[in-house]
Chain A
Amino acid sequence: MNKNLYIKELKRNRKNFFVWLSIVFGFTLLVLSIFPYMSGMGEGLTALMEQIPPEIGKAMGMDEQTWSSALGFYSTYYGVYIVVLISIYTASTGAGIISKEERDRTSEFLLTRPVSRKTVFWTKIAALFSLTLIFFGLQTVLAGIGLSLVNEGTMDWGIFTRMHASGFILICFFTAIGVLISMFFTPKKNFMGMVVGLTFGTYFLNAIAKSTEATKWIGYISPFNYMEITIDPHHAFNYWGAIVLILVAIILLIVALKSYEKRDMAG
């Protein structure tokens, strides 16, 4: 790892980091601040929920728990918005962290310094996952503080931890995918559309899979299928799912490195 490059990468990405952090913070605060009003309408909403076909409810991550507790309400939005939003940020940063140098043709400067491509790659990945971890950590702390303020009664921190740990695995997985796709498309490409499509797309594939038995098979192609981000107390953290997703992410990164080491830097 190259310290000089690592620090520069953190600095270069700080602006984007704070823009996205403020979006996700704003959204987290919005969700937590509307809960007290929604819970006041609890009975009416539960009645409303009964009107909604259960398949749609499941697809949207809503169930009878949604309105009953702050954590239930938060979990409805955590999967579909917060995890997806953070993943879009980290995957698009991952897609740009190496390819941007090629697009802007600064790779010529970087790769004529005395560093190997392998060092450049892993240093950038280290900076990327540092940003991911800091982002995830700050959002988790904010959500934890917010939930303890708006929640009435006991709070199940075990479920909160399981939900967030699952979310983190998903975010890491999408981050690795972001790095990989940037290696296989021309550096002129803007990856944001691809990243948004992939994260939201796989979320909704999983949602469709969960809505009926007949569509269950679709879920197997979505990483969301393997991680538990609802508050269902019957579910536990899927260790095997986490190990497989992390292993796949590492393999994707190694494939990306091999591609990076082989490519010619156009003049």
Chain B
Amino acid sequence: MLAIETINLSKLYGENRGIRNVNLKVERGEVFGFIGPNGAGKSTTIRTLLGLIHPSGGRATILGHDIVSEGVELRKKIGYLPSEVHYYDEMNSRELLEYSIGFYDNINPDEIEHLADFFELDLAKNIADLSFGNKKKCAIIQAVLHRPELLILDEPTSGLDPLMQNRFFDLLEEKHKEGTTIFFSSHILSEIQRMCDRAAVIRDGEISAIENIQDLLKKQMKKVRIVFNPDAINRNLPIGSQNEKWHDQKVNFEYVGPIESLIQWMNESKVVDVVMEEPDLETIFMNYYKR
């Protein structure tokens, strides 16, 4: 059974907005990234999966439950972290979290204290008085308190300082080890690179690619910097080189091709020093965005 499966899922608002024919298959236990620029349809997809908005076409299941007809059952198994947090201003965090666990069966209320300590959240403070980051901490806690099988995270780190982001990623890694499936929507690619096994790219409401992150990085070009012996500069770069920039005996270029050919070429040239870098995921995905 898949954690998430969408078949031609669509939500149309007039001509251009919404999502069209979204097809996703997320395996159980996987950390799946969902990337796209702002307004691409990430939140619309998530809100449709959660039953907050009704699909105009297609269908979807979460952990085997239909999103339209079995919403109650599937929401028992989901933890959702929204990108913007809107809670009841008159409550404090403790009241909000106790209210939240009241909707689920057999939740240990001691978990609230434990997680609040971990994220350094003052439970007694009114929600209206919390900063955006602290509201986000409260939202993280409510998302994991009932030990969901699937976590749906929409721009989860916005508002968190770097220390809390690290704690949050520690928590996600722990949840991942316990077998929780994580659906991670973000436009911050380094987060996707850090956490996810696979990722889908959404653009203008349509899925433009689904890729294995490691494969994607392997397939892609390398950034190469070479320093030659000044007496033996080899200006014939290997096949697959592009954007070369010479500076005396140094050259910077991008290489796309089999790594063995590059090594063999370096072996034949009198190379003094070499630096090879992977381009970051951002550069790779910019290609998808631009297409």
| A-to-B contact residues, CB < 8 Å | 2, 4-5, 8, 12, 104-109, 111-116, 119, 262, 264-265, 267
Q: List 16 A-B contacts (CB under 8 A).
A: A4-B102, A12-B88, A105-B84, A105-B86, A106-B88, A108-B52, A108-B86, A109-B88, A109-B100, A111-B51, A112-B80, A113-B100, A114-B104, A115-B72, A115-B75, A265-B52
A264 to B71, CA, bound (A): 14
Q: Does any Cβ of A come within 8 Å of B54's Cβ?
A: yes
Closest to A104 in B: B86
Closest to A8 in B: B99
Select B86's contact among A5, A109, A111, A116, beta carbons within 8 Å. A109
A4 to B47, CA, bound (A): 24
A119 to B87, CA, bound (A): 20
B residues near A264, Cβ cutoff 8 Å: 52-54
A47 to B216, CA, bound (A): 97
10 residue pairs, one from A and one from B, having the closest CB atoms: A4-B102, A105-B86, A264-B53, A113-B103, A114-B76, A265-B52, A114-B75, A112-B80, A114-B72, A116-B72
Q: How far is the CB of A108 from chain B (nearest CB, A)?
A: 6
Asked whether, in the complex, the Cβ of A109 is within 8 Å of the Cβ of B87, the reply is yes
Q: Does any Cβ of A come within 8 Å of B150's Cβ?
A: no
A106 to B100, CA, bound (A): 12
Count of chain B residues with a beta carbon within 8 Å of a chain A beta carbon: 28
Q: Does any Cβ of A come within 8 Å of B282's Cβ?
A: no
Q: Does any Cβ of A come within 8 Å of B157's Cβ?
A: no
Closest to A2 in B: B103
Asked whether, in the complex, the Cβ of A111 is within 8 Å of the Cβ of B104, the reply is no
A112-B50, A264-B54 given; A106·B87 CB < 8 A: yes
A residues near B78, Cβ cutoff 8 Å: 112
A115 to B100, CA, bound (A): 12
CB contacts between A and B, total, < 8 Å: 63
B residues near A8, Cβ cutoff 8 Å: 99, 102
A115 to B90, CA, bound (A): 22
Q: Does any Cβ of A come within 8 Å of B82's Cβ?
A: yes
Q: Does any Cβ of A come within 8 Å of B117's Cβ?
A: no
Q: Does any Cβ of A come within 8 Å of B186's Cβ?
A: no
> What 0/1 readout, one digit per residue, does chain B (156-186) give for beta carbons within 8 Å of chain A?
0000000000000000000000000000000
A115-B72, A264-B54 given; A4·B90 CB < 8 A: no
Closest to B74 in A: A114
Select B71's contact among A105, A116, A262, beta carbons within 8 Å. A116
B residues near A265, Cβ cutoff 8 Å: 47, 52-53
Q: Does any Cβ of A come within 8 Å of B129's Cβ?
A: no
> What 0/1 readout, one digit per residue, does chain B (33-77) give for beta carbons within 8 Å of chain A?
000000000011001001111100000000000000001110110
Q: Other than the known A109-B86, A116-B72, what 20 A-B pairs have Cβ atoms closer than 8 Å?
A: A4-B102, A5-B103, A8-B102, A105-B84, A106-B88, A109-B88, A109-B100, A111-B51, A111-B52, A112-B78, A113-B75, A115-B103, A119-B72, A262-B54, A264-B52, A264-B53, A264-B54, A267-B44, A267-B47, A267-B84
Closest to B47 in A: A267
Asked whether, in the complex, the Cβ of A106 is within 8 Å of the Cβ of B86, the reply is yes
